[in-house]
Amino acid sequence: MNALVLLSIILFFLMTFIGGLKGIKSFLAIFFNFGVLIVILFIMNDPNVNLIILTLAACIIIACINLFFINDINIKTKTAFLSTIITTVILLVFILLVTEKAMIQGFGEEEIRELNGFSLYIGIDFVKLGVSVIIMSTIAAIIDAAIAISSPMREIHYHNPTISRTDLFRSGLSIGRDIIGTSTNTLFFAFFGGYLAMFIWFKDTSYTLGGIVNSKIFSAEMITLLSAGIGVIIVIPITSWITALVLVGKEK
């Protein structure tokens, strides 16, 4: 049996056994998200499409799948969804400015060697494409952080309905502080593990430390990593404030 099919079956049974109905939904959400990315990829080929608007639309769809499809429509998913969209818009403006200043759009020297026989004039704004890639790479981490805060805040309010809005907001910040370290480290090791072969290649080709840091491919991935970390941190106070505002009608 193909290893990919075998691993998919094992994952499905484990998610079903541990997560029940939500596990099945989570498994299906993987394919739904993959389908969204494939559709977006084909739409991007149209030079008349605004990539920024397309990216926002894709983020909204992905957020709906990962929040409403898996966890149903309720207070915690609604607040997490709103926090995710607000954070994404803020991060989008920030990344657009950083990408233009860092000049990381397009392909790096290492990638150009593999593309010498192809034309790079594809009629797409590579700056906006770079922004779209970074946003799509960070949306999952933002959604995960948002639901990780809104869900326990909902439980806190459920078991302590007399809690004030200020105290509930502080509880959300406290929860956020606990997940900052693990979230950012997850992003870092995902980056390092995915590009371990590239680091070995840099070493074998006698790249200096300055050459590695200033290479376009390394800089682009580090900006993606740092942007994801910034997005996770920004979503913490936003989610805490929105959730406290929704759950507590007025200041006690």
- What digits encode the pLDDT tens for the residues 8-27? 888 888 888 888 888 888 88
Report, as an integer, the average pLDDT of 171-178.
88
Which residue do the tokens 């371990």 mark? 196
SS3 for 22?
Answer: helix
- What digits encode the pLDDT tens for the residues 190-243? 777 766 777 777 777 777 777 777 777 777 777 878 888 888 899 999 999 999
Give the pLDDT of residue 149. Answer: 92
Alpha-carbon 5 to chain mean position: 26
d(CA 143, CA 200): 32
Give the pLDDT of residue 180. Answer: 83
**What six digits make up the tokens of 239?**
């989610």
**What six digits make up the tokens of 54?**
């397309």
- What digits encode the pLDDT tens for the residues 65-119? 988 988 888 888 999 999 999 998 888 888 877 777 766 666 656 556 655 656 6
Cβ proximity of 78 and 85 under 8 Å: no
pLDDT over threshold 50, residue 252? no
